[in-house]
A and B are shown apart, each in its own frame.
Chain A
Amino acid sequence: MSYLELYLVFLKFGILCFGGGYMLVPLLTADLVENRHVLAPEAFRDLVSVAQVTPGPVAINTATYVGFLQHGILGAALATLGIITPALVLVILAIKLLKRYESTVWIQGFLTGMRPASWGLILVSVVVFADLSVFSGRFPRVLADFQNFGIRPAALLICLVVLFFQLRTKVSFYWLLAGSAVIGALFCR
């Protein structure tokens, strides 16, 4: 891929990405692995597992990694810039539109529908994160899932303790994260 192509490809992902970085994985597989052949399937699997355990947004991690493999640090910068450009333009446009038409039925209706919808989507991500940690086997979606479904006690305990601290105290979540990592390394292996 040329420099310009790299930027444009990730610009496209920046627009298509909707609902979080995990949604990006199938898009990336289709385009970079199957269509353009710039990444081998194994390399892509490694990339996803690295992008998940390292901090930061998965989409940024992926863009940086693919860009770096193509053209070194300059490629990484171009791919990352590409993926954040649409966000910068669209979000600021959205804020301006919202302020301007705040009192109309359209914007009030938009917010009336969007507030509970965003609550529902965040509830989905609770299940996604619990699938990776608290639940062994996945959250039951079909009847067959109930057989494999189980709960990891140590992980559940961490989750509940964090929930308590977040709702009842003002302890910084950085301490909660650090503590959870240590307890996880000791008891969740």
Chain B
Amino acid sequence: MSTAEETVVLTSIPERRRCWVLFYEFCKISTFVVGGGLVIIPAAQNVFGRQRHWVDEDKMVDLVALTQSVPGILACNAAIFIGYHVAGFRGALSALIGSVLPPFLIISLIASGLTAIGTSHPWVQGAFTGTISCVTGMVLAMVIRTGKRTQRSVFAWCVGLGCFVGMVYFNLNPAWLILASVAAGIAYTGWVLRRGGVRK
């Protein structure tokens, strides 16, 4: 799907309706998706990319890259980025409120003692393992799909695998890895341009 198609899909829906859908879809994601903020990214990619065609795949790759390069909670960053892209500032607010409201209510109920959940019950543990296995598959699918777009050069493979190895094997802080990757990206782009090649 191209950017032009995406724009046609978006402009054919009134802004108020887009805001409501953002709120509703992020509410739904936050209510049902277990596993923390990062899972919101593949979930949102499913809903707004593959199902609704509101954000095309190239744009999604950039949204994800930006989400991770700005400090702040991953889930909120992703919601704001997608909301702003789809319906401006009001869209960003709708998506953010939608993603925060359900966990806020659920945790308030638990903290006030109205609802008790036994995290040690074997059924709960099993269901948790099952959902996290599902989440692993979802994130892996996203790695494969976005990898086709991001991992196209030797440079990209060095940066991507470098970040992976740095975090898993050397316990480096992701903030430093991101800074180093951005610096390398700027140096590389400058070098390619100076050499006079067509950058791809």
Contact = CB atoms under 8 A, between A and B. Distances in A.
Interface in B67-122: 67-77, 80-81, 84-85, 89, 92-93, 96, 99-100, 102-104, 106-108, 110-112, 117, 119, 122
Nearest to A184: B130
Interface in A65-94: 65, 68-69, 72-73, 76-77, 80, 83-84, 86-88, 90-92, 94
A140 B138 CA distance: 22
A76 B103 contact: no
Given A54-B110, A162-B141, A21 B193 contact: no
Contact of A113 (B139, B141, B184): B184
A125 B139 contact: yes
Contacts of B140: 126, 159, 163
B19 interface: no
Interface in A131-173: 132-134, 139, 141, 152, 155-156, 158-163, 166-167, 170, 172-173
B80 A106 contact: no
Contacts of B75: 21, 56-57, 59-60
Given A87-B73, A116-B150, A21 B168 contact: no
Interface in A92-143: 92, 94-95, 98, 105-106, 108-127, 129-130, 132-134, 139, 141
A99 B111 CA distance: 42
Contact of A117 (B112, B159, B168, B189): B159
B134 A65 contact: no
How many of chain A's residues touch chain B, expressed as a range? 35 or more
Contacts of A53: 34, 117, 119, 124, 128
Interface residues of B, number: 112
B12 interface: no
B40 A57 contact: yes
A127 B66 CA distance: 22
Contacts of A189: 122-123, 125-126
A188 interface: yes
Contact of B130 (A92, A130, A182): A182
Given A129-B139, A161-B137, A174-B32, A68 B108 contact: yes
A68 B110 CA distance: 10
B36 A52 contact: yes
B159 A116 contact: yes
Indicate the member of A18, A72, A92, A113 with the most B CB atoms within 10 Å.
A113
Contacts of A19: 68, 74, 174-175
Interface of B: 28, 30-38, 40-43, 46, 50-51, 61-62, 64-77, 80-81, 84-85, 89, 92-93, 96, 99-100, 102-104, 106-108, 110-112, 117, 119, 122-147, 149-151, 155-157, 159-164, 167-169, 173-175, 177-178, 181-190, 193, 199
Q: 8 shortest A-B CB distances, which residue pairs?
A: A184-B130, A113-B185, A56-B103, A162-B137, A109-B186, A120-B163, A87-B72, A180-B134
